[in-house]
Copies of this chain bind each other. A is one copy, B any other.
Amino acid sequence: MKYNVEVIVSYKKGVLDPQSAAISGAISSLGYQNIENLTISKKFNFQISGREKKEVEEQVESLCRKLLANPVIENYQYIIGEEK
């Protein structure tokens, strides 16, 4: 069975994100003074095939920890959905 997976990786609170800071600065320079609390996350979408959802969940968890996120400074969350 195939599953659609969405993983969101974002910086933990308190971690300095230079990309967000740069974009926030650019937004101010463009004259938008009414925008605040900008954060940027990465969104990964992929398909994974496996027999059981439990097994797929373990793979996704391991993939997040090993490759998609840096658990020291980033949080991750994922949604696994069965393909229609």
A contacts, CB < 8 Å to B: 8, 10, 23, 26-27, 30, 32, 34-50, 59, 63, 66-68
Identical chains in the assembly = 2
Compute how far the CA of A10 lies from the CA of B6 in the bound complex, rounded to whole angstroms. Answer: 14
The interface residues of chain B lying within 8 Å CB-to-CB of A41 are 42-43, 45
Q: Is the CB of B8 within 8 A of A34?
A: no
Q: When A and B form their complex, which 6 residue pairs have the shortest distance between CB atoms, in order from nearest? A: A38-B46, A41-B43, A34-B49, A43-B43, A37-B47, A39-B45
Chain B residues with CB below 8 A from A34, complex form: 48-50, 59
Contact A32 B59 (CB under 8 A): yes
Tell whether, in the assembled complex, residue B23 and residue A68 are in contact, meaning their CB atoms are under 8 Å apart. yes
